[in-house]
Amino acid sequence: MDISYTILIPLIPLAVFLLLGIFNQKIKPAISGYIGVAGLTASTALSFYTAYQYFFVHGKVDGVYQTIVQKVTWLKFTETLQIDMGVLIDPISIMMLIVVSIVSLMVHIYSRGYMKGDDGYTRFFSYLSLFSFSMFGLVLATNLFQIYIFWELVGVSSFLLIGYYYTKPSAVSAAKKAFIVTRFADLGFLVGILIMGYYTGSWDFETLNNPEGSAILNWASTSFMGLSVITWALLLMFIGGAGKSAMFPLHIWLPDAMEGPTPVSALIHAATMVVAGVYLVARLFPMFYFVEDGFALNIVAYVGGFSSLFAAIIAITQTDIKRVLAFSTMSQIGYMMMSLGVSGYEGHEGVGYMASMFHLFTHAMFKSLLFLAAGSIIHAVHSNYLKDMGGLRKYMPITNITFLIAALAISGVFPLSGFWSKDEILVAAFEHNTLLYIVGVFVAGLTAFYMFRLYFGIFWGKDTKYDHTPHESPISMTFPLMVLALITAVGGLIHFSEYVSADKAGFEAHLNIPLALIATAVGLTGIALAWVFYKKENNLASKFADSFGVFYKWTYNKFYIDEIYLFVTKNIIFNSIAAPIAWFDKKVVDATMEGIGNKTVVISNKIKGIQSGKVQDYAFSFVAGIVILAIVFIYLWTN
């Protein structure tokens, strides 16, 4: 199967980015929107064509979906160790292509309405295209270094888009925070890549992921502090993934990233970029699974499980609707990580892997839908805060219904897509780790509760008096909502396990009725609680919150993680470590060099009189020197 045309999928958005970026001032906003949408439409069409070719025309060979790679050597270090550039097509990269292109296209269309009249309209679309390019490149990467390059590129586009309103100090600091935190995590990623290259002699996913390959078979050859070096490399790479995917404790940038325009939050901080970490683990899944009997994979599972619980608890107390959604995103990504972590490899054992990818797909759809709906609401109300909303169902029927569909999906209500993927995750957790299963079920309940707290708070609840009547958003904004709602509603009916599985062979997934019933019951309980608390305006919720006392306050302040970071960086690192080092640098290192310079100036000032500028003085020195030399030579000669 020739896949060279897939290189166009990232290159078209790149061309659009260059076009819009270079002729930023010359292109009229109306046109730049169309250019952006057209470029993404082409990429989306190509993605779907690739998926169709791969799954239905090319199909399985020997019962397994093949990994197809086309690449060129870019940098050659040794005979085996080299950096390639190319495209890699396998079931998960196809799935990611579909996810990224659909969400990105919808966000492009939506942005035409949402950003209308904004000064930086063209700039916004050029950034969106840059992001799409980077994300497609990341998805199609053939080796660790290529993925790292695009990994940083999505980081940059995320930085640019969070800081899009660069006149707002909060947006600027949020952009910096996101960049610094993820960059810090990427340091771990880079070190992991280098260790991996040093000990396995390869960065190619194909070579690394081969269960019979030397990289996996020889994992025990070198160890460091009781663990195989390969495990260390995987853990370091997971730090990078955790940074991008906002896993505890590197999650602090994600809530602040909501300072960016809402379509950006939907595209980058809900659907695509933040799942890059999940994608990375899935990409290296055979390594994670086989090396050291899955030690690194266990860490992934527990970090994911803890993050999902942690974020779900915080989400309950937040009042900014975008922040609730941000924590919800973090919680759901934790779910995916947890699911990957408890997965096996072959056949039905790999249900966790498949469920994670499935949830990634469905979550991208309903979470971007939630964000876009939230954007539509913010567009109408001009506020991010729950207290300024209420009773909006009368004014915004389409947003209301689409938001409800997404909220039901994320709560895992039959037969929406979230139900299917969440059920598979819980099946995987139940089969492998009871503790994580309990966490998963609890989080499912919390998710349903905070989503419906949001839903009732926005669309029902108190009848807020608005300064000017809110109205439904224009068609360019509601159209993506409807498309995504449709996918959210029916997406779960795809037989995902036949296409995406850890061993690429596919298997038949069955609905586990008892587990599904438990999960649904828990979800419905959450919804019912939210109904009681928030459907009508009452003070039950605040009374309930008061009964938790300190715990509520802690949760409301996100467990003071930000403050801990500030304390660690400011008091410990800046004041206790950096300041003395800076003093040493200034007073000792710099002072030595400056002293040498200053002394040279002083001395040269003193002796510059010798350089009188009078030729006669020079001539005198010259003649005197010659006379002395002559006397010396004559003396030596005569003796």
User: Measured between alpha carbons, how far is 129 from 157 in angstroms, rounded to an integer?
Assistant: 9
Contact string (CB under 8 A) for other proteins, positions 149-168, x = contact: --------------------
Phi, psi torsion values for 412, nearest 5 degrees: 80, 45
Cβ nearer to other proteins, comparing 170 with 611: 611
Interface mask (CB under 8 A) for other proteins, residues 18-57, using x and -?
A: ----------------------------------------
Binding positions for other proteins, 366-395, rule CB under 8 A: none
Q: Which is nearer to other proteins, 542 or 612 (CB)?
A: 612
Residue closer to other proteins by CB (options 31, 623) is: 623
Q: Give the three-class secondary structure for 471.
A: coil
Instruction: State the Cα–Cα distance between residues 395 and 380, nearest whole angstrom.
Output: 9
Residue of 405, 441, 408, 427 whose CA lies nearest to 519: 441
Q: Minimum CB separation from other proteins for residue 617, in Å?
A: 8
Least distance CB 182 / other proteins (angstroms): 56
Comparing CA positions, the residue from 313, 157, 136, 166 lying closest to residue 244 is: 157
Closest distance between other proteins and the C-beta of residue 628, in Å? 14
Least distance CB 602 / other proteins (angstroms): 16
Helix, strand, or coil (residue 277): helix
Min CB(610)–other proteins separation in Å: 11
Number of residues that bind other proteins (CB under 8 A): 9
Which is nearer to other proteins, 574 or 633 (by Cβ)? 633
* CA dist list (Å): 325 to 44, 367, 543, 639: 26, 8, 24, 102
* Alpha-carbon gap, residue 125 to 130, rounded angstroms: 9
All residues at 6 or more sequence positions from 506 whose CB lies less than 8 Å from its CB, including other chains: 60, 65, 497, 498, 499, 500
| Shortest CB 600 distance to other proteins, Å | 16
Query: In the complex with other proteins, which residue's Cβ is closer, 78 or 616?
Result: 616
Closer residue to other proteins, CB minimum distance, 538 or 612:
612
Rounded (to 5) percent helix, strand, coil in the chain? 75, 5, 20
Contact 95, 499 (CB under 8 A): yes
In whole angstroms, give the CA distance from residue 342 to residue 349: 10
Rounded to an integer, what distance in angstroms lies between the CA atom of residue 487 and that of residue 192? Answer: 37
Closer to other proteins by Cβ: residue 57 or 607 = 607
* Residue 633 touches other proteins, criterion: CB under 8 A: no
In angstroms, rounded to a whole number, what is the distance separating the alpha carbons of residues 513 and 540?
35
Using CB under 8 A, which residues numbered 526 to 545 contact other proteins?
none
Residues 589-628, one symbol each (x = binds other proteins by CB under 8 A, - = not), give: -------------------x--xxxx-x--xx--x-----
Collapsed DSSP state (helix, strand, coil) of residue 89: strand
Nearest distance, CB of residue 635 and other proteins, angstroms: 19
Nearest CB to other proteins, comparing residues 73 and 600: 600
Task: Summarize as ranges the residues that interact with other proteins (CB under 8 A).
Answer: 608, 611-614, 616, 619-620, 623
